[in-house]
């Protein structure tokens, strides 16, 4: 029996190799997974042209996944440096990469990523359009934009951010309800500007059926972009954001009618006390479609530390229903991240995702922590390093300050609670001032 997309296969009762891979990774019954994919509650981004893909699932009941943003720009146009970031993401087991390239040999770089990266690959075609055609924004046509989408699909991209929710209706609501930071989505701003300059409807909204044609053909998952995400905690959960979210829910249903898989993108900057409500709103207004969030960044005053502000928000968001976290690096709001920034961003986001999985009761999530706790109880430092989310940093800290008693650390020395409890529970004496017998 033939199928067009993973959703189509699930609805026809066909078990694909990608479904088998995801079910095994998630310790989930294959029949349960198929039902979730068929109903749009789980997506398996899997472009037919991404030949070395090791599939991942995103959505209800699955582990929280993380995404790494990278890509070349006019100011930092070094493909080899960005490839190093791709390889770092592979080494650190990030489940997804988004190529946000917006200048130069974007297709060359994109194809390199598809060749070497076996996780999910995403792009934002709108970023690529100006350079792809060497046209100013105003002069791009709807046909131009759709052609860029198809080019990315042909190249093997598994999911694409399409800002189709910023239509004329949403734009008018935005203009009637001024914000402190206006629109901050790069793709959303480009489309809003195009609409204003040409006095026309958003091409991705107007020609959404043609976008679906492309996505169905290649089995590309649409990540419905949040052009109206908040760029400051002042602007979160306002009329523009909620109106766009309602539109994204309507578009998700249209996509599902065509067996096209959908994720919904979300905020953004947002105060802690609003996060849980926003997760609930997305699930309600978008019919339980998987939710992909940037952060949320919970305070605006920490440039240089936004991997931390984002991890705080990400942990709350994912524990409250978000399924996919886009990493934020210390360089957010300041510059293109370097390799060290990318590593810090990945680690912070992995911590947030794992903490959320514990809270959500994801199968085997606590097992990792229990193994670390056992190694700590046994003062088995090598085992601790093996288990650690960043073994290199843990070893570096340990080696930089050696204790008198090698089983302890220089924080407590022989007053180490773990050491002393092990001894006393085994009927041994505790020698703190003198050598052990």
Residue found by looking up tokens 């029949």 in the block:
31
Does 333 count as an annotated binding residue?
yes
377, with CB counted inside 10 A (0-12, 13-18, 19+), is exposed
Is 286 known to sit in a ligand binding site? no
Token look-up 């296969």 returns 9
Q: Looking up tokens 């204003």, which residue turns up?
A: 196
3-class state of residue 361 by DSSP: coil
Residues whose CB is less than 8 angstroms from the CB of residue 284 and which lie 6 or more positions away in sequence, other chains included: none
Cβ proximity of 394 and 380 under 8 Å? no
**Residue 411 assigned to a binding site:** no
Please identify which residue in the block is written with the tokens 């996509």: 255
Q: Is 265 within any annotated ligand binding site?
A: yes
Residue 133 marked ligand-binding: no
**CA 382, CA 394: separation in Å to the nearest integer?**
10
Interatomic CA distance for residues 58 and 64, integer angstroms: 7
How far is Cα 60 from Cα 43, in angstroms, rounded to an integer? 9
Chain centroid to CA 348: 12
According to the annotation, is 263 in a ligand binding site? Answer: no
Cα separation of 97 and 123, whole Å? 9
Is 227 assigned to a binding site?
yes
229 annotated ligand-binding residue: yes
What DSSP line would sit under 136-168, residue for residue?
-GGG--HHHHHHHHHHHHHTT-SEEEE--S--H
> How many CB atoms sit inside 10 A of residue 420's CB?
17
69 is in an annotated binding site: yes
Q: φ and ψ at 340, to 5 degrees?
A: -65, -40
Answer yes or no: is 322 a known binding residue: no
- CA-CA distance, 191 to 73, in Å (whole number)? 19
Closest CA to 119 of 82, 84, 149, 156: 156
- Ligand-binding annotation for 356, yes or no, is no
Q: Is the dihedral of CA 297, 180, 128, 145 positive or negative?
A: positive
First to last CA, the chain: 74
Q: Is 16 left (phi over 0), alpha (psi -120 to 50) or beta?
A: beta
Q: Annotation-wise, does 187 bind a ligand?
A: yes
**Whole-Å CA distances, 36 to 122, 207, 289:** 22, 28, 10
Q: Are strands 96-99 and 324-326 parallel, antiparallel or unpaired?
A: unpaired
- Rounded distance between C-alpha atoms, residue 321 and residue 60, angstroms: 8
The answer to the question of whether 127 is labelled as a binding residue is yes
Does 49 count as an annotated binding residue?
A: no
Is 246 among the annotated ligand-binding positions?
A: no
Annotated binding site for Zn(2+): 269, 333
Annotated binding site for substrate: 69, 98, 127, 163, 185-187, 226-229, 265, 292
Annotated binding site: 69, 98, 127, 163, 185-187, 226-229, 265, 269, 292, 333, 409, 412, 416
Annotated binding site for [4Fe-4S] cluster: 409, 412, 416
């Amino acid at each position: 029996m033939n199928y067009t997309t993973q959703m189509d296969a699930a609805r026809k009762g066909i078990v694909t190799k990608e479904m088998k891979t995801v079910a095994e990774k998630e310790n989930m019954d294959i029949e349960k997974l198929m039902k979730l994919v068929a109903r749009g509650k789980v997506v398996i981004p899997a472009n037919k042209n991404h030949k070395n893909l090791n599939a991942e699932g995103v959505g209800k009941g699955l582990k929280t996944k993380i995404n790494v943003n990278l890509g070349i720009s006019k100011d930092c146009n070094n493909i080899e440096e960005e490839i190093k970031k791709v390889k770092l993401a592979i080494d650190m087991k990030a489940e997804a990469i988004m190529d946000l390239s917006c200048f130069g040999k974007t297709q060359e770089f994109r194809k390199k990523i598809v060749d070497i990266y076996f996780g999910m690959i995403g792009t934002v075609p709108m970023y690529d359009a100006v350079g792809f055609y060497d046209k100013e924004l105003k002069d791009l046509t709807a046909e131009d934009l759709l052609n860029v989408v198809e080019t990315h699909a042909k190249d093997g991209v598994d999911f694409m951010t399409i800002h189709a929710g910023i239509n004329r209706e949403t734009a008018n609501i935005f203009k009637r309800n001024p914000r402190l930071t206006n629109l901050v989505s790069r793709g959303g701003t480009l489309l809003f500007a195009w609409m204003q300059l040409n006095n026309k409807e958003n091409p991705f909204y107007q020609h959404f059926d043609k976008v679906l044609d492309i996505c169905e053909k290649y089995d590309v998952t649409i990540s419905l972009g949040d052009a109206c995400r908040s760029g400051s905690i002042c602007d979160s959960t306002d009329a523009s954001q909620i109106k766009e979210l309602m539109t994204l829910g309507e578009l998700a249903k249209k996509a599902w009618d065509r067996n096209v898989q959908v994720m919904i993108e979300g905020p953004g900057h947002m105060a802690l006390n609003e996060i849980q409500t926003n997760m609930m709103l997305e699930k309600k207004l978008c019919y339980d479609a998987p939710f992909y969030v940037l952060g949320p960044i919970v305070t605006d005053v920490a440039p240089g530390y936004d991997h931390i502000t984002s991890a705080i928000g990400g942990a709350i968001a994912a524990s409250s229903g978000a399924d996919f976290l886009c990493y934020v690096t210390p360089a957010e709001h300041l510059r293109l991240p370097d390799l060290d920034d990318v590593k810090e961003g990945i680690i912070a986001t992995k911590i947030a995702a794992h903490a959320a999985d514990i809270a959500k009761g994801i199968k085997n999530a606590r097992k990792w922590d229990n193994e670390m706790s056992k190694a700590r109880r046994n003062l088995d430092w090598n085992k601790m390093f093996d288990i650690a989310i960043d073994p290199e940093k843990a070893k570096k800290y340990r080696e930089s300050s050696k204790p008198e008693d090698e089983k302890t650390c220089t924080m407590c020395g022989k007053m180490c609670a773990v050491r002393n409890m092990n001894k006393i529970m085994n009927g041994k004496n505790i020698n703190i001032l003198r050598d052990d017998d």
